[in-house]
Amino acid sequence: MPDHPAPLAFSTTLSLRSGDQSWGSERRMALLAAIGTEGSISAAARKVGLSYKAAWDAVDMMNNVAGDLLVERVTGGKRGGGALLTGRARELVAWYQAAQAEHQRFMDALSHFGPDGTRHLDLLHSMALQTSARNRFEGIIQHIESGPVNDRLTLQLAADVVLTATLTHASTERLGLAPGRRALAFLKAQAVRIQAADPTTPQLSEPAPGDTRWTGRIGHVVTGDGLTEVSLDITEHIRITGLSAVDISTKSTAQACFQASDVLIGTLD
């Protein structure tokens, strides 16, 4: 008899929204649950892999969005203080855990819909994200250079295409960023300087040290208001759009240059 492929095993997380605000991610719910079992913010943060500051920032944000106090500080006592979940928080954690179990059963059912299920779900997940940034890239984190305040992150988009971004160390911890993790990069067109790739054409500006510079084939060009909007095809699947102060529509290739500080980093989970 022919072998039948085993059903795909989908792992998933459930995120909650309140109006336009997304706040109930799996990690935040895990933090609340850990506060309930550990009795302190610091112990709960260690349990779920967050810094103390990132944990308190998450608790403050959830309190603000929920409109109810979720975590109470306890002072004094034999332990010298700690933290307790309110009744509202305990109800929320129990409801979330039940909802996530039901959600997982739904995902298990999807695993029987065919071998392309994972690919289709990943695409739908990415398409659901909308931002005002013209440029959106997805890649794998290759390296993070940590600093006392800011970190420098290298994201690989393709075999020969990488970009550099700077973000606060607190943001790195809050997003759970680490080498090997998939991440998104967002960049407004106004932050991308398009200039000629050959030395005979006047340049918009000299690239600064640490800038990301890509050379690509000129695709879409729109001129107006003293600026030229240019889209460059860096690879078959990677396109970047930026602005040029000079008309370079007669050229076949150009260079896109942008600063690491202008890149925003996000995740899909």
pLDDT in 10s for each residue of the chain, 269 residues: 444 444 444 445 555 555 554 555 788 888 999 999 999 999 999 999 888 888 888 888 887 777 778 888 776 545 445 888 999 999 988 988 888 887 777 666 666 655 555 555 555 555 445 555 789 898 999 999 998 889 999 999 999 999 999 999 988 988 889 999 999 899 999 999 998 876 555 444 555 556 899 999 998 888 877 788 999 999 988 999 999 888 777 788 999 999 999 999 988 66
Q: Are 94 and 156 contained in the same domain? A: no
pLDDT at 59: 85
Asked whether residue 106 falls in the same domain as residue 134, the answer is no
Same domain (yes/no): 261, 168: yes
pLDDT at 5: 43
Is 73 contained in some domain?
yes
What CATH number does residue 77 fall under? 1.10.10.10
- Position 197 scores a pLDDT of 76
Residues 103 and 161 in one domain: no
For residues 145 and 184, membership in a common domain is answered with yes
Question: How much is the pLDDT for 99?
Answer: 82
Residue 149 lies in a domain: yes
In a shared domain, residues 52 and 104: yes
Query: Quick one: pLDDT at residue 148?
Result: 86
Q: E-strand spans in the chain?
A: 16-18, 21-24, 71-74, 82-85, 135-145, 150-158, 161-168, 182-187, 193-196, 212-224, 227-233, 239-244, 253-258, 264-266
Mark 55-67 as b/e (b = at least 16 C-beta within 10 Å).
bbebbeebeebbe
Q: 99 with 154, same domain? A: no
**Do 152 and 262 fall within a single domain?**
yes
User: Among 110, 143, 172, where does a domain finish?
Assistant: 110
Q: Which domain holds residue 52?
A: 16-110
pLDDT of residue 14: 58
Task: Report the domain count for the chain.
Answer: 2
Query: Residue 122 domain-assigned?
Result: no
Question: Quick one: pLDDT at residue 7?
Answer: 44
Considering the domain architecture, whether residues 66 and 160 belong to the same structural domain is answered as no
Q: What type of residue is 190?
A: Q
Q: 29 in a domain, yes or no?
A: yes
pTM, 2 dp: 0.55
Residue 5 lies inside a defined structural domain of this protein: no
Look at residue 214 in the predicted model and tell me its pLDDT: 94
How many Å apart are CA 186 and CA 180, to the nearest integer? 19
**Quick one: 152 and 256 in the same domain?**
yes
What pLDDT, on a 0 to 100 scale, did the predictor assign at position 10? 47
